[in-house]
Structure 1
């Protein structure tokens, strides 16, 4: 389905064409020679025919809308705030819109332009837009479904090349460059909307939501690792005509906010969605994003809140005060991720014992002691082992003991209480998010990202993993509407 198909704008003809194509595909000829490959081929051909029919139907819908004076008037009203003081109508323009099934429909639409007055008082027309296309999210020459699907596969597949192949199979035939551009554009709009929410929070204009009212909320925070491309300063290379670049390892910081039921099972549905996000702009930017999301979700109305993370200092210096400032409930708990803590215990055990069997035996008992809430007893055992240790091993043991001791003193090792309340003790949710968002797409051999592109990809993949892609795209297409207020 690589060739674009012109819309015929005739439903009867489209149905007859579909019937003709599919009737042949439903014939049972020489079935003794059939196999799974034959069935697969027919499935693909029937799917292609169905997509073309769907595209033809969408084309009729768009054409009829474009012929409706009511729709055209609505488009003018709904996009009025995009107009400048010198914007005015400027005739009609012909525009082509690609629908699913690779069907291309041609529309003749009203066009508006903004006039700039030059010093010689001659008028110059700037680039304008079609209010109809702006209103319906089709300024890129695609239907909203096609654009969101392009961006979806551009974000979730392993590469834009893979996205191109997948989209072709679903009746969307676009160049690799266009897929890349459309993915980044929809992602940038999402980033802009996120920034707008942060600004509204800072100005005190962000209304508090109630999604988390009466819920048991978990907030998990951690960082990933990927390489950002930084161009070298100075002259361009005489042969390539480009600046060289270095690949700097940078830590994107991510968070996930989710709800668990009374049995500790994660909830993810349309009423109580998971919220994921992250940034390459450092912890201060992450705190702004987190604050806006928590207010939007209504964190102050939660029944219980658990903050869980590794030993990164910035998490514990900044996020607990933020939660207190946002009015989190009395039942707000803090935990060091159990598995990060046990990694330190394992390193301590390996340094403390010469024999692997002894090390493993002590480590297993230490884990159980920690889970039962007996961190004080465990630290005493560690002190006894440190007392008889020497050299480099002793230094390692002291560092690992201090990690446990610091977490204990700050009340972040109360795993027994969390288990009793059926709250998670590990940060598996955020670890999984980092793997799916960063490691499987952004991090990799010979991958060097421009920071702004990495930020967009991070944001897009966070929405996909949270299963909130449709809501995310809905907010983007709704953002094109800027009606005149009276």
Structure 2
């Protein structure tokens, strides 16, 4: 109960207050320690492959959506030098990027299946750490038996450079795997390209973006890439190179009509929402600093709670207790 409240509420102090209302008096330090130990046991079971699954979690013959992205939170990192006058250790409060994943199933109409609660999780171990975590979940779910597998993300190099290797390690049929750039990120970058034309009026920029947005939906990605290159030709600023390379590099991931024809999503709103609910509303805030290991534990607690898989985390934590007792 303490861990569930810690995942649900916005601070450990709120947890203490709610527990007091239920007649349970616990110090904030005790609450924090209980929640972190609960997360440790759950993570140990997950790393051992002991994820309790039911019949609804089978991916056999289903259409799977996978996405990853990064958020932002401030970590408390020790600073060299003498302590403060009060004897406290000095620290840096630098922004770091926790990375999250989401796995869910869509039905024949392209809508998220309610019978399959999504898997959400994350870590601070960098891109390789996140993809190891993603691989562990997909192997447990037997993703190789899925009918279609769709990877959707923004244009980040750290994501797309690792997807082909993940597909090979999982033994997936390449014909059933699709890579897609998030449509709304692509449109956002069209706006940035139009903004490079300083002599255009706001109306001309909007017209250009609308036109090429429509071309993307019609499957004319090559035409859009050529138009972007035409705007960027002969200009060598860093912003121009970035936008040109964005579309050239991801041209084969702009097959929006083909994906829509399969009734699969063309946007990564699910992972964007997860970043907000899991990270931003709990770990990100003014004057909020986390130790890295504690932030990672809170991400696991909150991910399972927001995904509707708290009972699974409970079984994982309890199974690890039983193994330690044995």
What is the TM-score with the length of structure 2 in the denominator?
Answer: 0.92
C-alpha change, 1:384 and 1:167, in structure 2 (3 Å) is: same
C-alpha change, 1:383 and 1:312, in structure 2 (3 Å) is: closer
Show structure 2 runs of 5+ residues with no match: none
Question: Could you tell me which of 451, 470, 476 is aligned with 2:317?
Answer: 476
- The offset of 1:472, in angstroms, is 0.9
| Structure 1 residues 157-182: Cα deviation after superposition (integer angstroms, max 9, x where no partner) | 11111122223334433222222221
| 8 Å CA contact 1:216, 1:259 repeated in 2 | yes
Equivalent position of 2:305 in the other structure: 464
> Structure 2 CA distance, aligned partners of 1:484 and 1:397?
61
Equivalent position of 1:190 in the other structure: 42
| Structure 1 residues 386-437: Cα deviation after superposition (integer angstroms, max 9, x where no partner) | 34x7685xx63443122111101xx211111111111111110000000111
| Structure 1 residues 19-41: Cα deviation after superposition (integer angstroms, max 9, x where no partner) | xxxxxxxxxxxxxxxxxxxxxxx
For residues 77-226 of structure 1, what are the structure 2 equivalents within 5 Å?
149-197=1-49, 211-226=58-73
> Structure 2 CA distance, aligned partners of 1:484 and 1:360?
65
Higher relative contact order (CA 8 A, sep 6+): 2
| Structure 1 residues 225-283: Cα deviation after superposition (integer angstroms, max 9, x where no partner) | 1111111134333x2112200012111111001000000111243xx331111100112
| Structure 1 residues 279-334: Cα deviation after superposition (integer angstroms, max 9, x where no partner) | 00112211221111111001100000001111111211212221222122321000
- The offset of 1:380, in angstroms, is 2.1
Equivalent position of 1:419 in the other structure: 260
| 8 Å CA contact 1:210, 1:298 repeated in 2 | no
How many aligned residue pairs are there? 320
RMSD over aligned Cα, in angstroms?
2.2
Matched, 1:451 2:292: yes
Show structure 1 runs of 5+ residues with no match: 1-148, 202-208
Question: Could you tell me which of 274, 293, 313 is aligned with 2:137?
Answer: 293
Equivalent position of 1:439 in the other structure: 280
> Structure 2 CA distance, aligned partners of 1:320 and 1:462?
26
Describe the SS at the equivalent of 1:241. Answer: coil
> Structure 2 CA distance, aligned partners of 1:445 and 1:210?
38
> Structure 1 CA distance, aligned partners of 2:76 and 2:324?
40
> Structure 1 CA distance, aligned partners of 2:245 and 2:61?
37
Matched, 1:344 2:189: yes
> Structure 2 CA distance, aligned partners of 1:370 and 1:335?
12
Higher Rg of the two aligned structures: 1
